[in-house]
Amino acid sequence: MPADRMPLLDVRDLCVSVPGNGGMIPLVENVSFCVNEAEIVGLVGESGSGKSVTAMALMGLIDSPGVQVRGSARFRGQELVGMPAKALRTLRGRDIAMIFQDPMTAFTPVYTIGWQIDEQIRAHERLTRRAARARTVQLLAEMGVPDPARTAQRYPHQLSGGLRQRAMIAMALSCRPTLLIADEPTTALDVTVQAQILDLLRGLRHSHGSSVLLITHDMGVVAQTCSRTLVLYSGRMAESGPTTTLFARPAHPYTAALLDSIPPLYGSRPHRLPAIAGVPPTPRERPAGCAFGPRCAYVHATCLPAPPALAPIGAGQLAACVLPAEGTPLPPRTIAQGMQP
């Protein structure tokens, strides 16, 4: 592959497992995806699907005893898996930055917001305090923080949730990272503030040239921000592809059922929601064969012996389901989510 076409982040067969039950319990199994320059990729799944573990493994932030990370994750061709801690530390914060769901725990409460962003800048670049602060104030202004010079002098608890999240994004962008990993960045926020932050994330591609790996459980957030989407179920990839295709023609029954179980805000109101029976399995109790099998409306004998392999469906779409290969793909979705009247 020519260097200029190389994806920014290329993850192949990433596996994360932890010791337990007298062996190793896989939390994440064979997850592969890539993030291109100035692209927003969504990583969706329910709690326990392994989406946050995937991100933490990429950042080298899992330090649970006995944890095993295997596979490959190349950032601009550099292998992240197994990279020495010191090298990873230079990369982290400068080239790859991460923002979390709860900005209150990401900031220390005992220093001002500005102090913490200055420190991050000065950890990676040789700058005077004054120059670092000037950059901090400018970043806060770019993130839409009103009165940025004064806000920089405030402590995290003095800011609203939306402002804290903006400050955290400012801190993450302080060294102009090329990749931003955002783990549920708007889950703790109200919808009107969430809309502002999503708008900000969408704009980063143009204003800062950053790519974003957006981790979320909210299919609405994915539809509004991500060009490509990866659906995880119980630590494995269920499906991936262009967001438009995934929403119009999901190839995995899990994706389809997940989309159908969201109550529509517009259009006709179903008498009952098409809910998925049961709950997602924990990594310890993952069933043999397809992990979604016990909850799947289409489950049959071929699903049970081994987890179905990820197979191409067409136009960049992949699905780990036996149905397309058996010649009985899922029908396109009848859109229950009507457009605005």
Partner 1 sequence: MNEPTPVLELRDVRKTYRLPHGQRLRAVDGISLRVMPGEMLGLVGESGCGKSTLGRCMLRLDDVSSGQVLFEGRDITTLSERRLRPLRTGMQMVFQNSTAALNPRRSIGDLLAEPLRVHPAADGRRRSAAAIAARLHELMALVGLPASALARYPHAFSGGQRQRINIARALALSPRLVVADEPVSALDVSVQAQIVNLFADLREQLGLTYVFVAHDLAVVRQISTRVAVMYLGAIVECGETDTVLHTPAHPYTAALTAAVPRPVVGAPPAMLLRGDVPSPVNRPAGCRFHTRCPQAQARCSAEEPALRALRPGHEVACHYPLPPA
Q: Which amino acid is at 171?
A: M
Q: Which of 6, 112, 154, 161 binds partner 1 (CB under 8 A)?
A: 161
Helix axis angle, 161-173 to 129-142, nearest 10°: 120
Site string for partner 1, 86-125 (x = CB under 8 A): ----------------------------------------
Distance of CA 75 to the CA centre of its chain: 16
Largest CA distance in the chain: 67
Distance of CA 36 to the CA centre of its chain: 14
**Which candidate, 101, 103, 93, 111, places its Cα nearest to that of 145?**
103
Among 5-13, 53-61, 222-230, 316-324, the segment contacting partner 1 (CB under 8 A): 222-230
Tokens found for residue 41: 């990729």
Q: Which of residues 132-151 bind partner 1 (CB under 8 A)?
A: 146
Q: Which of 64, 90, 158, 195 binds partner 1 (CB under 8 A)?
A: 195
Does residue number 224 form part of the binding site for partner 1 (CB under 8 A)?
A: yes
As measured in angstroms, the least distance from the Cβ of 252 to partner 1 is: 13
Does residue number 288 form part of the binding site for partner 1 (CB under 8 A)?
A: no
Does residue number 287 form part of the binding site for partner 1 (CB under 8 A)?
A: no
Q: Which is nearer to partner 1, 162 or 235 (CB)?
A: 162
Q: Which of 21, 192, 206, 331 binds partner 1 (CB under 8 A)?
A: 192
Give the 3-state secondary structure of 90-155.
Answer: HHECCCEEEECCCHHHHCCCCCCHHHHHHHHHHHHCCCCHHHHHHHHHHHHHHCCCCCHHHHHCCC
Among 29-37, 118-126, 206-214, 220-228, the segment contacting partner 1 (CB under 8 A): 220-228
**DSSP helix/strand/coil, 177:** coil
Strand partners, 181: 98, 213
Question: Where does this chain bind partner 1 (CB under 8 A)?
Answer: 46-47, 146, 160-163, 190-196, 198-199, 217-225, 243-244, 247-248, 257-259, 261-266, 269-277, 279-280, 295, 335, 337, 339-341
